[in-house]
């Protein structure tokens, strides 16, 4: 499957390891089609999403390029049916395993189920300035 130019543009600023996983998933997805809806976010965009109730944190992995949101396509429209996102998560998991990159799926979270969200784990991919022994405020 070809992601298309809009999805590829939305991967700008995303961590190269996560980009590799998304591209591999596109290669192996078979009949399951998906697009990238969002990658790197500005602090202003994140604040607007929190204000609108579409995000629960100002500390999103999107702010550092460590997360992407993907949407499953049903023909020419996005579907929000959760079982389709479980299928996508299975494809992403296989792609991550192939690329030897750990990922986390928002659909597996217990505090907030976020089917379209995939991210690199904090422990293995700390934000700049964290995990390096440097204390930041």
What does pTM read for this prediction?
A: 0.90
Q: pLDDT > 90: what percent of the chain? A: 82
Categorize the per-residue pLDDT at 55 as very low, low, confident or very high, splitting at 50, 70 and 90: confident
Classify residue 50 as exposed, middle or buried by CB count within 10 Å of its CB (0-12, 13-18, 19+).
Answer: middle
65: alpha, beta or left? (left if phi > 0; alpha if psi -120 to 50) = left
What's the mean pLDDT when you consider all of the chain?
92
Q: For the residues 40-66, what does the mean pLDDT come to?
A: 92
d(CA 68, CA 89) in angstroms, rounded, equals: 12
Cα 77 from chain centre = 19
Dihedral of CA 84/86/92/94: which sign? negative
Q: For the residues 80-94, what does the mean pLDDT come to?
A: 97
d(CA 54, CA 38) in angstroms, rounded, equals: 13
Coil vs helix vs strand at 117: strand
Q: Shortest CA distance to 120 belongs to which of 22, 29, 1? A: 22
């Amino acid at each position: 499957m070809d992601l298309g130019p809009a999805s590829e543009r939305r991967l700008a600023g995303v961590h190269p390891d996560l980009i590799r996983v998304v591209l591999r998933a596109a290669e192996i997805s078979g009949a399951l089609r998906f697009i990238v809806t969002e990658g790197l976010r500005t602090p202003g965009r994140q604040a607007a999403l929190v204000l609108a109730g579409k995000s629960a944190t100002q500390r999103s992995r999107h702010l550092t390029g460590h997360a992407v949101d993907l949407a499953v396509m049903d023909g020419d429209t996005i579907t929000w049916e959760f079982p389709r996102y479980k299928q996508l998560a299975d494809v992403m998991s296989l792609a991550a395993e192939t690329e030897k990159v750990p990922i986390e799926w928002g659909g597996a979270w217990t505090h907030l189920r976020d089917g379209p969200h995939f991210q690199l784990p904090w422990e293995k991919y700390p934000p700049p300035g964290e995990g390096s022994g440097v204390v930041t405020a």
